[in-house]
Amino acid sequence: MEKIKLDLPVIVEGRYDRQKLASVADCEIITTEGFGIFHDEEKKKYVSQVAGNGVYVLTDSDSAGRLIRSYISGFLPAGRIINIYVPAVKGKEKRKSAPSADGLLGVEGTDVETLRCVLEKYAVREKKGRITKADLYGMGLSGGKDSSRLRDGVAVKLGLPPGITCNAFLDAVNRLTDMETLLKMCSEAENENILNSSARKD
């Protein structure tokens, strides 16, 4: 099957993530060596250089992956990072004796078809219109008492990890969907929350 061509470098955590990504994508791949980038000034300098036009960040959806994403966003200028997320799926990589601390599969453990689907969605740039923070507020996805729960519900429908920040969510929806689809997903997630709340009361 033809590899997906990406126009920017992709940052992943380790060499097994690199191997999995290289099997489906044609792009430059940079590894952080886990938390190694935290103390590797040469690596940070190189990432800053190659991210001149932007860079994709594809770390695991667990707490360690989120920490690495946050660290990278701390030394790269705003607007340079395009976050890509694999679904938060419970499981353990085959080569490991135990699951990660969060019990989730990482990039390495994501099946090829799912990874292809994720990358293809992020490769699409044409959208019907840009979704704004005001739009998210109007839909109840930010600024409200139950916004984080509703946002998590929509995130899962988009294949994003629950607990994603509002800013990261906004960036992702603008790359993955359009306003019409987002409104539909929001309505579905809201109805599911109402049903779940009723079930808990019963």
Separation CA 97–CA 18 (nearest Å): 20
Domain of residue 48, CATH code: 3.40.1360.10
Domain edge (last residue) among 83, 106, 123: 123
Same domain? 134 vs 159: yes
pLDDT at 159: 83
Same-domain status, 26 and 87: yes
pLDDT of residue 121: 76
pLDDT of 127: 47
Ramachandran sector of residue 123 (left: φ over 0; alpha: ψ -120 to 50; beta: rest): alpha
Strands 81-83 and 55-57: parallel
Boundary (domain end) residue, out of 99, 123, 147: 123
- Do 79 and 170 lie in one domain? The reply is no
Predicted local confidence at residue 80, as pLDDT: 86
Are 6 and 95 members of one domain?
Answer: yes
In contact, 173 and 158? CB cutoff 8 Å: yes
Structure tokens at 14: 């380790």
pTM of the complete model beyond 0.85: no
pLDDT tens, N- to C-terminus, the chain (202 residues): 789 988 889 999 999 999 999 999 999 999 999 999 999 999 999 999 988 888 999 999 899 999 999 999 999 987 889 899 998 888 888 888 777 788 888 899 999 999 998 998 777 454 456 899 999 999 999 998 889 999 999 998 988 888 888 888 888 888 788 899 999 999 998 888 766 665 555 5
Residue 196: the pLDDT is 64
Residues 6+ apart with CB under 8 A from 37: 43, 44, 47, 68, 71, 72
Cβ-contact 112, 24 below 8 angstroms: yes
pLDDT of residue 79: 80
Structural domain including 64 reads 1-123
- 58 and 21 within one domain: yes
Residue type, 160: L
**One domain for residues 54 and 145:** no
- The number of distinct structural domains making up the chain is 2
Q: 106 with 196, same domain?
A: no
Domain boundary among 91, 123, 155: 123
Judging by beta carbons within 10 Å of its beta carbon (0-12, 13-18, 19+), is residue 160 exposed, middle or buried?
buried
Q: Two tokens at 134?
A: 């005001």
In 3D space, the residue among 5, 55, 63, 6 whose CA is nearest the CA of residue 31 turns out to be 55
Residues 52 and 106 in one domain: yes
